[in-house]
Chain A
Amino acid sequence: MQHGKYRFIVGFLIAPMALYVIFVVWPFIQSIYYSFTDWTGLSPDFEMVGFDNYTKMFKDDIFWKSLEHSVLLAVLLPLVTLGLALFFAFMLNVGGRRRKDAVISGVRGSGFYKIAYFFPQVLSIAIVAILFQFAFDPAQGMINGSLKAFGFDHDLPNWLGDPKLALWCIMAVLVWCTTGFFVVLFSAGMASIPKDFYEAALLDGATRFTTFFRITLPLLWDTVQSGWVYMGILALGAEGFAVVNIMSVGPGGPDYSTTVLPLYVYQAAFRDGQAGYATTIGVALLLVTLAFAAVVMKLGRRERLEY
């Protein structure tokens, strides 16, 4: 029965593969093609310009700034988000004191916290960005308002208006709205770790700290790694774009302090009428994203445990 196996598999895969090629791979190839043209996006005629767009890109300060910020987001955001999510998920599922006959349990009120953490996930990223834009408003916003209530009156930060703070404000918003998802994801992962492991650890007198690093994290590693890639791609792509585009000064400012690659793609294509150049930056973004995924997969590889 082995000889028909591949034909059988191919038969099933041909339709989805075709869809994938038409709607995912083909636009890709097209975009790479357009990156060698002077296409404006506003007219169907364009010419091949060879590597002009690439030379321009390498000399473009704004491109390098955008790249720097995108890479910073892709490195820092997963670190902070996943770190927080792991901590919260651990406390919600395992970190509680031993009560009654449950072997492991979360801290008091963990059911409520789970919902509270997940809540931002049900809001659209655009709504979150607009809400925080109001919160960061230096004159009428909630954040400076609270500072005033605590007696700080002078030289309150300008948040999004300050080039030193703006990118951090935007990162904080991204962390706020993505952590909840990973709390739930990691909770699900932790639920499938056999209870006897924890029981054994407890009998040996392990602390929460040891339990986390010796049992939970290693058994959860696959999920963490997937989360890492997913989060990095969010930061490099859609979410990073939406938040910067809606919240930041300019957008992308003040003084290019928050600009990111997808924003630059968007501006070049839809503001400056330079769709060809935009696809060039798109290609750069693609390479960065692939490199990011490859690095995380490679570095994250470790031996798998079976249970």
Chain B
Amino acid sequence: MGSTSAHNNEGLGRRDLIKRSAALGVITVPTMSFLASCASGDSGSDEKVEKGTKSAENPLAVNESAPLELVIFDGGFGTKYAEDAKAVYAKTYPKAKVTFSKTQKIQSVLQPRFNGGTPPDLIDNSGAQQMDMGVLVGKKQLADLTPLLDAPSIDDPNKTVRDTLRPGIVEMGQFDGDPVWIMYYAYTVYGVWYSQTALDKLDATYPENWDDMLALCAKAKKKGIAGWTYAGKYPYYLPFSLYPFIAKIGGVEVLDAIDNLEPKAWEHPAVKAAFEAYYELFKKGYVLEGTPGLDHRGSQGAWANGKALFIPNGSWVENEEASIIPKDFKLSVGAPSSLDASDKMPFGTIWASGGEPFIVPANAKNAEGGMEQLRIMLSEASSKSFTSSTKSLSAYNGGTDGIELSDGLKSGVAALEKAGTNVVNPRLQDWYVKLQKEQIGVSGLGEMMAGRATPAEAIKKIQGYADAAAKDGSIKHFKHQ
């Protein structure tokens, strides 16, 4: 071995040289240069395209021959709906060259382009690699979509696009003040998902109050079925049913205070009551064994196979698990059960809000084109195509007539009808991603539901994280209007 080492002279031997350069090279490459490689280039020096002529058919004054570039997230909903809408744009503006690309890696594909000032014209900023909306808004990287909202809708020129949207969609796209930065295209119903068939087998209906819930879980346990499971590796799925539960107990102000990062927001008695109720599920052994080690697909799989009755989730679960949910499953969604008679909001209170955030970058060359594409997507025909291909509702209010609704979707529509105006929309998950996912989710709720922290300890911990986030100057803060 020594033959390749230097031993006669004072200089570096070949091995030493290799060792040292390898040491330097190997550290540098993965850790730092990848950051610097997307370092800032020139900011938006490229010219924007000229506006076209405004007319009844072209209310946004789209330049008819300007190229349009779309980047769509290829996730649970696929991209067929967006391709269909793209075809409509290409037909309306035959002189325009439309580029369409799909990816699951939104951030790694688009971050350098935002940095360089040459982003595409319309983006579906979704999925695990979503770009932080707070930062994008804070750094003025997004275009205001108000012109789109005030434009007449495709189906009825007497109605604006704004008039055709589901409640809450426009507010969700706002951050501080009036401009609308984001157009949420999907409409997600969150809650407690279950199989009506499984409940029928236990001779039960969906429990409308917590005592019934516990009784049903006890009954199921005797038959060897767990009451609940959840995505243990991603415990930030728990809030999908826990947050509306908190709002139901203490009123929507409690959730608003939490979103606004107010001091002691988490110490509200409603939060404590809700946490204790969920903790009781663990204490009494109603949570599927091994749940803290399951990922979302694992827990959904166990649930679909009948090992657990209930799972907190969103309406995408129907499409995501379509291949394993049994035919006679009768997928349904339930609103959080009542805790007791003193609850502030009625049974039926549910969390529903926009999903699939579409954005038009401020530096987009053809921003009007990007908005026009959104206007097309918000037509009744496009919305129907989305609903039938993804089993999900869109932001367009209606558009479900005449298409056959799947079990889950039907139940979601019914839940929304029952909720009426009692729809809550907590914003932590789009305002403070780290706080919601890692700190509240994994370190707070995850630890509590695994039995390693009491509700009181979890609340104290979460309040600490929320206070730290409120004080952190490098995070942009938002408030409910």
Q: Which residues of A contact B117 (CB under 8 A)?
A: 44
* B293 engages A42 (CB within 8 Å): no
Which of B168-176, B204-212, B396-404, B444-452 binds A?
B444-452
Whether a CB of chain A sits under 8 angstroms from the CB of B177 is no
Q: Which of B5, B15, B291, B294 has most chain A Cβ within 10 Å?
A: B294
* The 3 nearest A-B residue pairs measured at CB: A138-B290, A161-B293, A273-B135
* A249 engages B232 (CB within 8 Å): yes
Which of A76-84, A92-100, A106-114, A152-160 binds B?
A152-160
Query: Which residue of A24, A144, A159 is within 8 Å of B33 (Cβ)?
Result: A24
A161 to B450, CA, bound (A): 8
Query: Which residue of A24, A159, A267, A290 is within 8 Å of B434 (Cβ)?
Result: A267
Query: Which residue of B26, B31, B43, B115 is within 8 Å of A42 (Cβ)?
Result: B115
Q: Which residues of B contact A256 (CB under 8 A)?
A: 443
* A161 engages B290 (CB within 8 Å): yes
Whether a CB of chain A sits under 8 angstroms from the CB of B50 is no
* A253 engages B443 (CB within 8 Å): yes
Q: Which residues of A contact B32 (CB under 8 A)?
A: 27-28, 31, 279, 282-283, 285-286
* B438 engages A252 (CB within 8 Å): yes
Known: A23-B33, A43-B114, A137-B298. A250 touches B433 (CB 8 A): no
Total contacting residues, chain A, CB less than 8 A: 83
Q: List 26 A-B contacts (CB under 8 A).
A: A24-B25, A27-B32, A28-B36, A31-B33, A41-B115, A41-B135, A43-B115, A43-B136, A43-B140, A44-B116, A45-B40, A45-B43, A138-B290, A161-B291, A161-B293, A161-B450, A162-B292, A237-B30, A248-B233, A249-B232, A270-B129, A273-B131, A273-B132, A273-B136, A304-B2, A307-B2
Give the shortest distance, in Å, between B73 (CB) and chain A (any CB): 15
* A44 engages B41 (CB within 8 Å): yes
Give the shortest distance, in Å, between B244 (CB) and chain A (any CB): 24
* A222 engages B5 (CB within 8 Å): yes
Give the shortest distance, in Å, between A37 (CB) and chain B (any CB): 10
Query: Which residue of B5, B294, B442 is within 8 Å of A254 (Cβ)?
Result: B442
A235 to B290, CA, bound (A): 29
Whether a CB of chain A sits under 8 angstroms from the CB of B29 is yes
Q: Mark A201-244, 1 if CB is under 8 A from B, else 0.
A: 00000000000000000011011011001100110111001000
Chain A residue, CB-CB nearest to B299: A139
* B290 engages A144 (CB within 8 Å): yes
Which residues 7-45 in B have Cβ within 8 Å of A in the complex? 7, 15, 18-33, 35-44
Q: Mark B153-182, 1 if CB is under 8 A from A, else 0.
A: 000000000000000000000000000000
Whether a CB of chain A sits under 8 angstroms from the CB of B276 is no
Query: Per DSSP, are chain A's interface residues mostly helix, strand or loop, or mixed?
Result: helix
* B294 engages A139 (CB within 8 Å): yes
A236 to B37, CA, bound (A): 21
Q: Which of A40, A144, A269 has most chain B Cβ within 10 Å?
A: A40
Whether a CB of chain A sits under 8 angstroms from the CB of B134 is yes
Give the shortest distance, in Å, between B99 (CB) and chain A (any CB): 22
Q: Which residues of B contact A27 (CB under 8 A)?
A: 28, 32-33, 35-37
Chain A residue, CB-CB nearest to B115: A44
Q: Which residues of A contact B450 (CB under 8 A)?
A: 158, 161-162, 254
Whether a CB of chain A sits under 8 angstroms from the CB of B481 is no
* Chain B interface residues (CB < 8 Å from chain A): 1-3, 5, 7, 15, 18-33, 35-44, 107-108, 111, 114-117, 129, 131-132, 134-136, 138-141, 232-234, 288-295, 298, 301-302, 307, 433-434, 437-438, 441-443, 446-447, 450, 452, 474
Q: Which residues of B contact A31 (CB under 8 A)?
A: 32-33, 35-36
A44 to B119, CA, bound (A): 12
Whether a CB of chain B sits under 8 angstroms from the CB of A199 is no
Give the shortest distance, in Å, between A8 (CB) and chain B (any CB): 16
Whether a CB of chain B sits under 8 angstroms from the CB of A182 is no
Whether a CB of chain B sits under 8 angstroms from the CB of A34 is yes
* A44 engages B40 (CB within 8 Å): yes
Q: Which residues of B contact A283 (CB under 8 A)?
A: 32
* A255 engages B442 (CB within 8 Å): yes
* A306 engages B114 (CB within 8 Å): no
* B438 engages A226 (CB within 8 Å): no
Query: Per DSSP, are chain B's interface residues mostly helix, strand or loop, or mixed?
Result: helix
A27 to B35, CA, bound (A): 8
Q: Which residues of A contact B234 (CB under 8 A)?
A: 249-250
Give the shortest distance, in Å, between A36 (CB) and chain B (any CB): 13
Give the shortest distance, in Å, between B43 (CB) and chain A (any CB): 4
* A306 engages B2 (CB within 8 Å): yes
* A222 engages B43 (CB within 8 Å): no
* A220 engages B28 (CB within 8 Å): no
Known: A44-B115, A189-B1. A249 touches B438 (CB 8 A): no
Q: Which residues of A contact B302 (CB under 8 A)?
A: 139-140
Chain A residue, CB-CB nearest to B110: A42
Q: Mark A42-62, 1 if CB is under 8 A from B, else 0.
A: 111110000000001000000
Q: Which residues of B contact A270 (CB under 8 A)?
A: 107-108, 111, 129
A271 to B21, CA, bound (A): 31
* B452 engages A229 (CB within 8 Å): no
Known: A31-B36, A45-B43. A163 touches B2 (CB 8 A): no
* B298 engages A286 (CB within 8 Å): no
* A250 engages B26 (CB within 8 Å): no
* A38 engages B293 (CB within 8 Å): no
A177 to B464, CA, bound (A): 39
Known: A160-B233, A249-B446, A273-B132. A139 touches B111 (CB 8 A): no
Q: Which residues of B contact A306 (CB under 8 A)?
A: 2, 7
Known: A23-B33, A34-B36, A273-B131. A255 touches B2 (CB 8 A): no
Query: Which residue of A34, A162, A193, A282 is within 8 Å of B31 (Cβ)?
Result: A282
A205 to B32, CA, bound (A): 54
Whether a CB of chain B sits under 8 angstroms from the CB of A289 is yes
* A255 engages B443 (CB within 8 Å): yes
Query: Which residue of B2, B24, B44, B116 is within 8 Å of A24 (Cβ)?
Result: B24
Known: A28-B32, A28-B33, A138-B290. A192 touches B1 (CB 8 A): yes
* A139 engages B289 (CB within 8 Å): yes
A20-B21, A236-B27, A304-B7 are known contacts; what are 12 more A-B pairs with Cβ within 8 Å?
A24-B28, A31-B35, A43-B114, A137-B290, A161-B232, A161-B294, A222-B5, A226-B19, A273-B131, A273-B132, A279-B36, A283-B32
* A158 engages B131 (CB within 8 Å): no
